[in-house]
Amino acid sequence: MKRSLIFLTFLGLILMSCTEEKNPFFSKFETPFNTPDFTKIKDEHYLPAYKKGIEDQKKEIAEIVTNSEEPTFKNTIEALDESGLLLDNVSAVYNGVKGTDTNPVLQKISKEIAPMLSAHNDDIKLNEKLFARIKSVYDKKDSLNLNREQELLLEEFYSDFVRGGANLDETQKNELRVVNKELSLLTLKFGDNVLEDNNAFQLVIDNKDDLEGLPQSVIDASSEAAKANKLEGKWLFTIDKPSLIPFLMYSSKRDLREKMYKGYINKGDNNNNTDNKKVLSKIAALRVTKANLLGFKTYADFVLDINMAKEPKNVYKLLNDLWKPALVNAKKEVKELQKLINKEGNDFELKAWDWWFYAEKLKKEKYAIDDEVLRPYFQLENVRKGAFDVANKLWGITLTERTDIPVYNPEVKVYEVKEADGKHIGILYTDYFPRASKQSGAWMDAFRKQYTIDGKEFTPIIYNVGNFSKPTADKPSLLSFDEVSTLFHEFGHALHGLLSKCQYRTLSGTSVARDFVELPSQIMENWASEPEVLRMYAKHYKTGEVIPDELIEKLENASHFNQGFITVEYLSAAFLDMDWHTLDKAEELSANEFENNSLNGIGLIPEIAVRYRSPYFKHIFSGGYASGYYSYVWAEVLDADAFAAFKEKGIFDQETAKAFRENVLAKGGTEEAMTLYRNFRGEEPKVDALLKRKGLL
């Protein structure tokens, strides 16, 4: 019996060894630039790799803690930054695939790994001996002769550990562990619920008359979607933006517009097993508990303490300064749209599901332009090349497609990014079309950040994700101008990751203050609409004809159109985010009642719905923007002011481009955000540039 047990144990070790050898995460990827080898990575590899990554980092932390030498920057701070490479590698790939191409197996893994990662993170942040070493280095920082990046890394770790509970007593630490574990599971559940609800809604049309008003391109796309779902002879519409927005803009069937619109705004609020109201209320209450434990009055105070805004009152001031003129404009727009409704002989009052439809009509009436006139000039491949060409003209970099690098989905394209002299910079993946396995929205992230260890540079591997209009059987992907702007926006984030020149992973790329991270993305949107740039990429998909000057002029003339709606819709969501996170009592409130009180409190008009209702507000309840959704408008202040620098000297001025790259894109979080901005611009930004650009002055 004993001999059998020994044999079985020995056999188990052999099998474990074989499993490790076969797991692609346990060895260097044999791919160009060590990109993730998606030909070998299987769902079953993630959990073992996560577990080994956690164990490896535990050993690395133990080595730091048990080091008998006096704590130094190198043996403590640098060692901590360099720990957890396997865990970071696995997490980056898993999170990337789960967000873009998920399945039930990956979702099950996330439920198992979330509490494990929460506990592991707490084990590090609440390790008294580790913090003692960090504090020892921190207390003598002025005598260490550190460079600025090293100073920031030291400050980042010290602050991160304090904010992670290092100074709490044992009872408080245990309470924080419980809160963090519960938050990790609830935020995961929130996102999964939104995806499931998003996929659950379908509007199936079997009467051709119900397609009235829809452009042929929209009808064709819905027909193909129906065929893909085995609904032959019918038309399928979903609440993915490429399907939803054109339907709201063009469908003459008001009852169907209402059905689509309500399907979208009621995600997570259908009183079923994917309902998010109690989930988000619990998240908000737990965040208050966490903030209080860490010595902050509210969660917003906790978050903003390390952002440019610093305090909630500063965010509210920014939002209110913009809200007043935006609301005035929105009310004027309501009157214009109501006048158009009545002019057509209708006696109903404008509702939220009517806005897109009548705004598009009014835009066509006032400026003789609409999205369907523009779409033929915005073939996705040309728009992508346009964004790449802008980067080339600004910094000389090139992006060349690579077909020898594995991808996680056939729709993904891969590009190698090089300097003008041919030096390798990094890799960019683009993944642009909606599918049931992909989260909605658009984003950028990294399979590997840029960093340096022992003089060896690890180049960045970045990906851009979108949910843009898909190609049909007889047409390529033709984008709306809003989608064009989004593509440029996410490419701006990608450049921030790609052009990073930092030593430490913790500070590189987009690891900057939350209210600074949107500057590189939003400034890129400016080039998308510049006449000079439009002539570079806006070419008719059939004829190759460059977009006519007449259309460019109309696009420019219409740039201030509907800005009241756009700004009010966005700002109301930013107010809602702040209101949820300035709660100072850990109470589970009625989500809808709280939301209504928040929006009524700022005077949101009924004709406009908040951009993100609480039950599907993923940015703040399952993303990284809690108390930070205002960041987009603050970044608009920054980018309006920053782009003015380019306009003053020319949009491709090399000196200005070099200054922006060196002081913003390359620096990551190696300096305070406002210092980086001042180093580029020479002074702090003013709100006036944004108000002028939006036509709100």
Which residues does the annotation mark as catalytic? Answer: 490
540 vs 125, 373, 479, 557, CA distance in Å? 55, 11, 12, 21
* Token representation of residue 118: 């929460």
3-state secondary structure of 665: helix
* Token representation of residue 138: 């921190």
3-state secondary structure of 272: coil
| Chain centre distance of CA 349 | 36
203 vs 199, 213, 222, 499, 616, CA distance in Å? 11, 16, 10, 43, 20
H or E stretch covering 462: strand 461-465
User: Do you know the residue count of the chain?
Assistant: 697
* Token representation of residue 443: 């984003």
Residue where the block lists tokens 């562990």: 177
Whole-number Å distance between alpha carbons of 203 and 208: 13
CB atoms within 10 A of CB 170: 9
Whole-number Å distance between alpha carbons of 277 and 412: 35
List, in order, residues 6 or more apart from 411 with CB less than 8 Å away. Answer: 431, 432, 433, 435
Helix, strand, coil percent content, the chain, rounded in steps of 5: 60, 5, 30
Whole-number Å distance between alpha carbons of 271 and 655: 57
Q: At what angle do helices 277-293 and 591-601 cross, to 10 degrees?
A: 80
Contact call for residues 284 and 583 (beta carbons, < 8 A): yes
Contact call for residues 424 and 416 (beta carbons, < 8 A): yes
Whole-number Å distance between alpha carbons of 102 and 517: 27
Torsion angles phi and psi, residue 463, rounded to 5:
-135, 145
Query: β-pairing, 443-448 with 235-237?
Result: unpaired
Nearest Cα residue to 203 out of 261, 242, 252: 261
Whole-number Å distance between alpha carbons of 107 and 583: 31
DSSP 365-392: HHHS--HHHHGGG-BHHHHHHHHHHHHH
* Token representation of residue 119: 């506990």
CA angle 442, 444, 450 (to 5 degrees): 180
| Chain centre distance of CA 82 | 26
List, in order, residues 6 or more apart from 9 with CB less than 8 Å away. Answer: none
Whole-number Å distance between alpha carbons of 445 and 96: 8
Residue where the block lists tokens 């979702």: 107
**Helix segments in 201-240, DSSP class H:** 216-228
Q: Is the dihedral of CA 206, 208, 209, 214 positive or negative?
A: positive
Whole-number Å distance between alpha carbons of 354 and 351: 5
